[in-house]
Structure 1
Amino acid sequence: MLVKTSGLVLSYIRYKDTSIIVKIFTKELGLKSYIINGVRSSTAKSKMGFYQPMMLLDLVVYHKETSNLNRVSEVKLLQAFQRIPFEFKRSGIAMFMAEVLSRCLYDGYQNESMFDFLEEAITLLDSPHCNLTHFPITFLMETSKYLGFAPVSAEEFFEELNQAWASSRDFQVEATYLDGLLQHSFAFDQNVPSIARRNLLDLCLSYYSAHLEESKEWKSIKILRQIMQET
């Protein structure tokens, strides 16, 4: 049957000579894989630009419960980004967001509230009012709420990481920073030393890896560290 839904692109892989298989987190159906035939050919009706990570799409898709790979009937941009494709920092953060979601979400996972949050987050990233300095860490903390392992305080966060934060002075700046992010979310706008931001980012990724029970290196971390150093 045909289903109309909004979708957020996470990733794609090339398939045969001119096609791709794309993973899209849809609002109504959850995370699904779709084959897009001929999109890499010069005569393609659809555009490869639609299927870049974190693009928001308006879709009509074929849906069959027993199939792991479906097709797209109609596609158009739900929102045309004005800054993310053209600014290195924003595009780098978008790549990081896509990697985080690709690791956290599984096929068939469906959560409309999470989709709404992600739509708001990527829209904010494209906004001229977005504070890029704190965005990646705030995104990790806000996303963890929907994944079921959000810390309620810096104390809980560091205790889970076994950092003995209460008796150590090593992470006091990071702990204060994290409490500020947990309280103010994307509205947090205080100045924080770059070393503390980098340290907290690394700790947040360790926190995610522990909850996801995996130890793979985060592919986009080098680019993200560079971005955070410059913001």
Structure 2
Amino acid sequence: MVASNNCIVLSKIKYGDNDLIVKCFTEKRGVVSYILRGVLKSKKGQAKAIYFQPLSQLRVEENYKPNQTLHILKEVKFSYIYKTLHNNIYKSSIVLFLAEILTNVLKEEEQDKDLFNYLILAFQYLDSEDSFSNFHLLFLLRLTRYLGFQPDETNPNLAYFNLESGNFENSPAGVHSISGDNLILLKRLLGTNFDTLSDVKINAKQRHDFLNMLLHYFELHLGGFKKPKSLRVLNDVFH
């Protein structure tokens, strides 16, 4: 069945000498993997590979067969052309990190338009924004809403947050309870939108510690979640 779809590129791997397998999060079908046969064989084909950079936003014509694991792309074009995301070293380090996270956590071939629209708008915001050093923190915190383990904000004024239960609490409940700077920043970011994120001022150590806490939160709630290999590069860039 040939159909149109919008998608966000999550990852690509070389398959054989000339082919690519590209994993995308699509508007209509969730996670879909496409095989591009012969794309690396010629200069013309290699030029097409530029479409499949991490987090690229595409409009595709696909030959989708429900019983197959790899599907065919008939035609591809950009649905949105980034101006800075792939040529700014700071933004590109965030892109690689978030693409690796999304490849890890998005598994289902199931439509989720709310999540798709969140990703589309968030990455367009990052592309246009000049102050973005905390973008990945708010992005991951907001992502928990769509993955089903967002922090319960019923009692946000309590003195501790339990990463395991996702609740604010009066007293610490073991190794998974947080307080101090991480708690202060969590409360601040829960009340922050992307358009006011530049008002949140934190230093490199606070950013590093809060990100590690967020990744631990993901580990506790998503089976098989692993810290991205690109985390080290991100930390080096935003040291």
TM-score clears 0.5: yes
Kindly report the root-mean-square deviation, in angstroms, between the aligned alpha carbons of the 2 structures.
2.4
Q: Which segments of 5 or more consecutive residues in structure 2 lack a partner in the other structure?
A: none
Give the structure 1 partner of residue 2 of structure 2: 2
The 2-side partners of 1:216 and 1:52 are apart by: 22
Encode CA deviations 1:147-178: one digit per residue, 9 max, x unaligned.
1101134669831248x986579842221111
Give the structure 2 partner of residue 30 of structure 1: 30
- Describe the shift of the 1:167–1:93 C-alpha distance in structure 2 as closer, same or farther (beyond 3 A): same
Preserved contact between residue 2 and residue 61 of structure 1 (Cα < 8 Å): yes
Preserved contact between residue 115 and residue 146 of structure 2 (Cα < 8 Å): yes
1:94 is aligned to 2:104: no
Preserved contact between residue 33 and residue 69 of structure 2 (Cα < 8 Å): yes
Preserved contact between residue 18 and residue 38 of structure 2 (Cα < 8 Å): yes
Normalised TM-score (structure 2): 0.87
1:184 is aligned to 2:192: yes
Give the structure 2 partner of residue 60 of structure 1: 61
Identity %: 30
Find the partner of 2:216 among 184, 206, 226: 206
Preserved contact between residue 181 and residue 206 of structure 2 (Cα < 8 Å): yes
Give the 5 Å matches for 1:16-165. Answer: 16-45=16-45, 47-127=48-128, 129-153=129-153, 158-161=161-164
Return the structure number with greater helix share. 1
The 2-side partners of 1:101 and 1:157 are apart by: 28
Find the partner of 1:221 among 221, 228, 231: 231
Q: What's the offset of the Cα at 1:217?
A: 3.5
The 1-side partners of 2:169 and 2:141 are apart by: 18
Preserved contact between residue 144 and residue 150 of structure 2 (Cα < 8 Å): yes
Encode CA deviations 1:13-42: one digit per residue, 9 max, x unaligned.
111111111101110121101100111122
